[in-house]
Amino acid sequence: MAMPLRQSIKVATYLFEQKLRKREKFPLIVELEPLFACNLACEGCGKIQHPAGVLKQRMPVAQAVGAVLESGAPMVSIAGGEPLMHPQIDEIVRQLVAKKKYVFLCTNAMLMRKKLDKFTPSPYFAFAVHIDGLRERHDESVAKEGVFDEAVAAMKEAKARGFRVTTNSTFFNTDTPQTIIEVLNYLNDDLKVDEMMISPAYAYEKAPDQEHFLGVDQTRELFKKAFAGGNRARWRLNHSPLFLDFLEGKADFPCTAWAIPNYSLFGWQRPCYLMSDGYVPTYRQLIEETDWEKYGRGKDPRCANCMAHCGYEPTAVLATMGSLKESLRAARETISSNR
């Protein structure tokens, strides 16, 4: 688990406070989407299918920051669309960092080098670059040549300027254990990014490509083989040990989508950013007026093959906090990765 020690301590303290307050549902990280527009047309994403009028909208800074503060979450993942297309994205980041929120700016990196001067390195801020494979595989997934090379150049420059750089990789049924090993080895050993997130592709209903999402059994077999030979321990993966156990079938959990809520131009989305069963204007309404018990594998057919981190990573984190053995295991991995 490659989360920085300072961040790990803050998150652990936050979780302990929720337990003391006896809060049953609370956010771990907010998925903030201040726009839906993007400069790419990835086959696994349906955000740019919104009407032209919606794609032109940009969330005001005060609204974006206010939503995060309303939730109380210690971490924020800013996505979209492509957030670097937002003219005030640097101000959104600046204000959230000033509030000591840990901010991950998710980007395809096409605009990253042009925008670096707008940001300041901080232990509370990281670029999270989406990389789905090495050059040919990644460019195919985003339907445009040259994107991989530009992303690599942007990450190298950001690292040289002192920014924290992380990656987020989604894997499909066209992947093999070897393609996963190759890209994670490259990111971990050659680019030396600070940490990496991974997720099996979920059948996002608006995605243009509906043929290449993974099933549960496929996911477990894929990651079990990719993690073999010491890879899992060697890679700087930004996941709890129990979530990695979950990916390779050593553990199973219910979905806790309420722990990673999504806020976009439409409001708070039910129940998660991958499924849309309506929106509400306040975080409190999202938590109190959503029937969370009806979602998850075995309950909602749409969730049958979902093993995405937005639903299951928080469950793994909560299970870790509820077990002394798992807490010590996570602490050992955090300390080891920060040496």
pTM here is 0.92
> Could you read off the pLDDT tens digit of each residue along the chain, which spans 339 residues?
457 778 888 988 999 999 899 999 999 999 999 999 999 988 667 677 889 999 999 999 999 999 999 999 999 999 989 999 999 999 999 999 999 999 999 999 999 999 999 999 999 999 999 999 999 999 998 989 999 999 999 999 999 999 999 999 999 888 999 999 999 999 999 999 999 999 887 655 554 544 556 788 899 999 999 999 999 999 999 999 999 999 999 999 999 999 999 999 999 999 988 888 999 999 999 999 999 999 988 899 888 888 887 888 999 988 888 877 887 787 777 666 655
Pick the CATH number of 3-335 from 1.10.3720.10, 3.20.20.70, 3.40.50.10860, 3.90.700.10: 3.20.20.70
pLDDT recorded at residue 173: 87
| SS3 per residue for the chain | CCCCHHHHHHHHHHHHHHHHCCCCCCCCEEEECCCCCCCCCCCCCCHHHCCHHHHCCCCCHHHHHHHHHHHCCCEEEECCCCHHHCCCHHHHHHHHHHCCCEEEEEECCCCHHHHHHHCCCCCCEEEEEECCCCHHHHHHHCCCCCHHHHHHHHHHHHHHCCCEEEEEEEECCCCCHHHHHHHHHHHHHHCCCCEEEEEECCCCCCCCCCCCCCCHHHHHHHHHHHCHHHHHHHCCECCCHHHHHHHCCCCCCCCCHHHCCEEECCEEEEEECCEEEEEECCHHHHHHHCCHHHCCCCCCHHHCCCCCHHHHHHHHHHHHHCCHHHHHHHHHHHHHHCC
pLDDT tens figures, 94-121: 999 999 999 999 999 999 999 999 999 9
Res 1: pLDDT: 46
